[in-house]
């Protein structure tokens, strides 16, 4: 990766599509990414894990059942096996036959659509380092030189540390459900520049404390305009939403 790549610092917008625009299309698919773009989103979030043969794919769950017609653990299947699956019919017949995309597929589409991205590294238990290494390698090899780099996030500190070491050009966000007491130490350790937190338990005081420490707060998964307004009034920088057109 060359120093010519564009940093994402300061580029993150107030609205980020969640798993593409998963209120309108099957999550973490190319159709969902296209839908987010059609609805006016300029950035999207998606989840990445790895297959048994070490390929990076867009996928949320550890198991195949909820979002495909497959059965079993994602990590037990090769990319070729996973490519055979239907990741659209569970959502609606309109999306029948939609494949599980690779991270490379997604990067190409993001580039074509000029979309920015929050890449959530979502390993299965025990594959934190390997997953993060694959994600970093794919981004290094495939992210276009002239496009704003993705923002990396993860619930797993081990993934953030790998990203810090292997992709220092990309900003990182500490991802948490609830703000932990040691949030700042964790953010410092993996050199994160922001905190991404579930909106439900989040309080205005927590937002203020994190912001005053110099970290933007972004919140997920916010689907109601009143909730978004409250959070943005508190100073939350971005909301991650299934319905980007609502805001």
Q: Which two tokens stand for residue 86?
A: 């239907």
Q: Does 49 bind ligand G3P (CB under 6 A)?
A: no
| Cβ 3 to ligand G3P shortest distance, Å | 28
Our CB check for ligand G3P shows the closer of 46 and 96 to be 46
**Given 77, 91, 215, 220, the residue binding ligand G3P (CB under 6 A):** 220
Choose one: 21-29, 116-124, 162-170, 194-202; the region binding Mg ion (CB under 5 A): 116-124
Looking up tokens 């704003």 gives 148
- Binding characters for ligand G3P, 87-126, by CB under 6 A (x = yes): ---------------------------------x------
Q: Does 240 bind ligand G3P (CB under 6 A)?
A: yes
Q: Rule CB under 6 A: is residue 171 a binding residue for ligand G3P? A: no
Contact between 19 and 60 under an 8 Å Cβ cutoff? The reply is yes
Q: How many CB atoms lie within 10 A of CB 66?
A: 9
Q: How far is the CB of 28 from Mg ion (least distance, A)?
A: 8
**Cβ contacts of residue 243 below 8 Å, gap of 6+?**
21, 23, 24, 39, 223
Q: Does residue 47 belong to the site contacting Mg ion (CB under 5 A)?
A: yes
Contact status, residue 122 vs residue 152, Cβ threshold 8 Å: no
The position carrying tokens 């923002």 is: 151
CA dist., res. 1 & res. 192, Å (int): 20
Catalytic residues: 18, 60
């Amino acid at each position: 990766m060359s120093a010519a790549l564009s940093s994402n610092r300061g580029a993150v917008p107030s609205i980020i599509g969640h798993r593409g625009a998963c209120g309108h299309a099957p999550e973490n698919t190319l159709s969902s990414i296209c839908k987010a773009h059609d609805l006016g989103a300029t950035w999207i979030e998606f989840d990445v894990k790895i297959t048994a043969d070490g390929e990076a794919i867009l996928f949320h769950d550890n198991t195949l059942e909820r979002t495909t017609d497959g059965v079993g653990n994602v990590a037990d299947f090769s990319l070729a096996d996973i490519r055979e699956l239907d990741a659209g019919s569970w959502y609606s017949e309109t999306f029948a036959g939609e494949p599980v995309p690779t991270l490379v597929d997604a990067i190409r589409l993001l580039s074509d659509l000029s979309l920015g991205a929050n890449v959530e590294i979502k390993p299965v238990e025990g594959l934190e380092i390997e997953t993060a290494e694959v994600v970093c390698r794919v981004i290094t090899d495939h992210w276009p030189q002239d496009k704003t780099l993705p923002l990396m996030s993860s619930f797993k500190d081990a993934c953030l540390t790998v990203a810090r070491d292997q992709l220092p050009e990309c900003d990182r966000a500490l991802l948490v459900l609830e703000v932990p007491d040691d949030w700042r130490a964790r953010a410092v350790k993996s050199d994160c520049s922001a905190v991404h937190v579930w909106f439900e338990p989040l309080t205005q005081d927590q937002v203020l404390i994190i912001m005053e420490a110099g970290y933007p707060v972004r919140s997920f998964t916010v689907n109601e305009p009143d909730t978004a307004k409250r959070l943005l009034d508190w100073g939350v920088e971005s909301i991650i939403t299934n319905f980007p057109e609502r805001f």
